[in-house]
Amino acid sequence: MVGSADVAKHPILEPFNPLRQVMWRRPGFLIRRLTQIGQAIFFDLCKSESITPLQVGMLTALSMNPWLDQKAIGRELSLDRTTTAEVLKRLGDKGLVETRVNPDDRRSRLSVITTDGLNLINDLQESIHRSQELLIEPLSPEDRAEFMRLLAQLVDAHEKKEKMEKEIGAG
Is-contact 107 115, C-beta < 8 A? no
Is the pLDDT assigned to residue 153 strictly greater than 90? Answer: yes
d(CA 137, CA 38) in angstroms, rounded, equals: 11
> Up-side HSE of residue 131: CA atoms within 13 Å toward CB?
22
- pTM beyond cutoff 0.85: no
- Model confidence at 41, pLDDT cuts 50, 70, 90, reads very high
- C-alpha to C-alpha distances, 102 to 15, 69, 90, 150, 168, nearest whole angstrom: 60, 8, 20, 39, 31
Q: What is the pLDDT of residue 118?
A: 97
Instruction: Look at residue 6 and tell me whether its pLDDT is greater than 50.
Output: no
Report d(CA 159, CA 65) in Å as an integer: 22
pLDDT at residue number 19: 80
Specify which of 16-20, 97-101, 166-170 reaches the highest per-range mean pLDDT: 97-101
Statement: residue 12 has pLDDT above 80: no
Angle between helices 115-136 and 141-170 (to 10 degrees): 120
70 CA to centre of own chain: 18
